[in-house]
Structure formats: structure tokens, C-alpha cells
Structure 1
């Protein structure tokens, strides 16, 4: 116990959430598996791919907020404060990434624990038990026959695309509300609308692609809301520059103090 406490004291919040994420991805944590009813039409859709791929989602989610914050902060404070601009953007971006990591960890943990079949479950899993079951029999345990989909056909709940897309979109929209006055109301308003519409489209596409049920999408949105609130209000301090400005002034004052001595 003492060694565990010592190890815990040597870690920070980043270490802990990354460690949990790795444990989930390695399936060290026991997973669950929801069963299915024979010939359930909700699970009988063909697999048609993703309108928004996972790689595109992660790329946009991770890069777009940084680009927007760097541009806005440069316009906000003027060229004479470029160092402060960069500190503002990078500090908030670091906390944003931490929030995304929390979001992703919670989503992946729930996917593993719940084990909910996707709408294309029969097409991609092709469980052995579905061949012999009849009527509305409920199968509580099954084995997929398609190797590639062994760990994917039962990861429907909740929707990670929706949760991450909404997290990024609302983060950008609120950031622009707080810090985007220097770039013009029209530009800010247009960007906010585009972000929200893209997040909504991301969620709708998951249902249209038959990758998730509607309740998976709703759950993804619900998960994103408190994590986003925590990220903005607690981690990013509501995008206030006061603390960062004071730190910069203290750093700039140190050489002066040394010279005066």
C-alpha cells in the first residue's frame, strides 16, 4: 500500500488519465457483452462505411482549435504581444487536449463495459448462434465469425464521433464568443454556426451510416456536455488572460531585479 501511495504521489493528472486509457485499450478492464434477439431488424443493416472517418475526426478535433486560437489571439492583442498571444493559445490548447483525452477515455470505457451491438451487427459479426436461433429467441452470449470485427461489432454505445465532434465544436464556438471580438461579429457568428452544424451533421451521419443507434448518439452528446463545461470553466478559466498576463510580467521582471542588485 505504501508503494502504491508513493507511486500515486509521483504521477500527475496526465499520467493517470493516459494510464486508464491504455488499460482500456489493452482490455485489461473486463468487458461486457449485450446479447441480441434473433433476426432483430435494428441489428440487420448492411455495413456501408463511415461518412466521417475516425482519422478525419481526430485530425480536425486536434488541429482546428489550435489554429483558430493562434489566429484569434494574434488579432486580439496585436503584434507587439506575440509572446503573450502564443502563451494564451498554447495554455488553453493544452487544457483542451486534456479534456479531449478525458472524453475519449470515458467513451472507450463505456464501449468496453456495455458491449452494445451496432446496427450492422449481423452483417459484420455474423455470430454462429444466429444461424440456429429461431423466432424472437434472445441470445445472451455469442461468438463472431469475422475476425476483423471481433472487437468492433459490439462497440455501439456510446457514439465517440458525436461526443468528440460536439466537444470540439462547442469549445471553439464558446472560445470565439469570449475572445473573438477582434475578428468581427460576422466572422465569429458564421464560424460558430458552421461549427455547431458540423457537429450535428457528424452525429446524424452516424445514424444514417448505420454505425450507431440514435440513443448512442444522444449518449455521446450527454457525455460531452459536463466534460466540456469542466474544460472551459475549470481548466481554461473561462478563457481569462489575467493569470497568464501576471506570469509573463513576473518573468519579465526577474532580469530587472537581478540588474538592480
Structure 2
């Protein structure tokens, strides 16, 4: 199990990164970008978002977290035939839940930080920018390629005008695909092979939900299609990065990949910098088992 110092450092890191991302969102000023007179892509009407930020937070962050905690508790209390000496099933459930949630939350807040930085730096105008800004300059007839850089907004809603300058990339799409990819990977590693079809069905549903989230951002005139496409790819790739370089390098994580053999599986640990493998007691699920130690050099 993780030491208290390590947990404190990890939680503090998540909190600091999250606070920096929130500060950018609340207090930063986006880049003031101009527009071409004939640019029809920013002259669409404003529409309320189908998926609000609150709805996205619940469905892409809180619900996956709840699912992973419930699954870890179920496996700790019902799925594992034994527990480590000196531990309780409650402590095992809490430890394994933390090990899968910490990378998920750290990846989420760091992704959000990168997205906020990109949004405020690029200052790309949303498709409904003209509708909410109402520029105080008139475009000369017959000059669609004239670039208007110095202008003000006659619109009265300052918050909408500020948000209308934060089109690229789509944070909704990125977070949806990040959450989908992480939860799909979690289900792949932790759900017994007996549940293959329900697991595959749930993974397909997660992908569809993420795709519909990205599509809704385009249909609501909140983003250009390229914003949603880039955000979706960024969220998916960011999840892969965290799985490869954070989860897979954490030997305490229940999601650590194990080598599968004919008679079961091998769990990996590190003893004085050397990888040591030990065979599992059961072969149906490598993610929640205690190994049968055959000699003093094989530890789990």
C-alpha cells in the first residue's frame, strides 16, 4: 500500500494542477483575434448547450469514479479469496480504489490545464461569435477577404463574449473521450472474462456517448468540427499517455499489466530494482488475486 507521504504528495499535485486550471478559466483573458468579413463560419446563431458543464462533470468524472469505487469494493469483499496479512478487506478496497482513481483524476486535471492554456492562447472564435459580440464595425460590401482586427463588441453579455473567443479546442470532447478511454481500459483489466459481452457492450456505449458529446458541440454551434475532432483525439491520446507512463509504471496499481500464461497469470513486483514474477492462485482474473509464493525470491 502507498505511504501516507506519497498519498499526500499525489493529492496535493492533483489539487494544485486543478486550481491552476480553474484560475485560468476564471481570470485569464483570451487572445483578441480578428475575423474576415466573409467568414460565414462564425455567423451562426447562438444556442444553449445540449450538454452543460455540470452534466459533463457528472457523467464524465463522478459517474466513472463511482463505478470504479463500487467495482473495487465488490472485488475486495466478494471477488478475492484472501487478503494480505495485516490488512482488512476495507483497507484493500480503499487502497485499490485510490490506485485507480488517482491517475484518473490527475490525468483529468492536467488535461484540463492543457486545454485551458490552448484555448486562451489561440483565441479562436466560436461559430456564434458574431451573434453574441455584435461587432461595432461594418464590413464594406464586396470585400469578403478584408480582415477586421480592431473592433469592439456591442453585445451586453460579457461572459458570453469572453466564452465566444475560446473555441479551440473542445474541452467537452476531450474530457468525454479521456473518461471513455480510461473507464474502458479499467473494465478491460478488472472485469472477469466471464463478463465479456456485457463488458464489450458497455465499452461500445462509452465510445458512442463520447462521440455524441463531441457531435453535440458542433450541432449546438459551440465549436467548429476541427475543434471537436482535435479535442476528441487529445483526450484519447492523453489517456493513453497516462496509462503507459503513469498507471503501467505504478506497481501498486490494480491496472498494472500482468503476463498471462497457460496455467494462469504472473504478477510482477520489484525486489531491489529487479522484476520478480509470481504465479497466481486463480486464472480467471489477474487483477485481483493473491499469488502463491513458491520461494523467498518470489514476492507479491
TM-score range, shorter chain: 0.7 to 0.9
Structure 2 runs not aligned, ≥5 long: 1-10, 81-88, 258-266, 272-300
Looking at structure 1, the residues matched to 215 and 140 of structure 2 have their Cα atoms a distance apart, in angstroms, of: 33
TM, length-normalised to structure 2: 0.70
How many residue pairs match? The answer is: 234
The structure carrying a bigger helix percent of its residues is 1
- Superposed, which structure 2 residues align to 1:178-217 within 5 Å? 178-181=189-192, 184-217=195-228
Aligned to 2:118: 110
Cα offset, 1:115, TM superposition = 0.6
From 89, 93, 97, the equivalent of 2:101 is: 93
Looking at structure 1, the residues matched to 153 and 268 of structure 2 have their Cα atoms a distance apart, in angstroms, of: 54
Aligned to 2:187: 176
Cα offset, 1:153, TM superposition = 1.1
Aligned to 1:257: none
Looking at structure 1, the residues matched to 240 and 183 of structure 2 have their Cα atoms a distance apart, in angstroms, of: 13
Task: Answer yes or no: is the 8 Å Cα contact 1:100–1:167 preserved in 2.
Answer: yes
Structure 1 runs not aligned, ≥5 long: 1-10, 247-261
TM, length-normalised to structure 1: 0.79
- Cα distance per residue 1:100-126 (max 9 Å; x no partner): 101111111111111111111111111
Looking at structure 1, the residues matched to 20 and 42 of structure 2 have their Cα atoms a distance apart, in angstroms, of: 31
Deviates more, 1:227-236 or 1:161-170: 227-236
Would you say 1:121 and 2:129 are equivalent positions? yes
Larger relative contact order (C-alpha < 8 A, sep ≥ 6)?
1
The structure carrying a bigger strand percent of its residues is 2
Task: Answer yes or no: is the 8 Å Cα contact 2:191–2:199 preserved in 1.
Answer: yes
Change in 2 beyond 3 A, CA 1:89/1:116: same
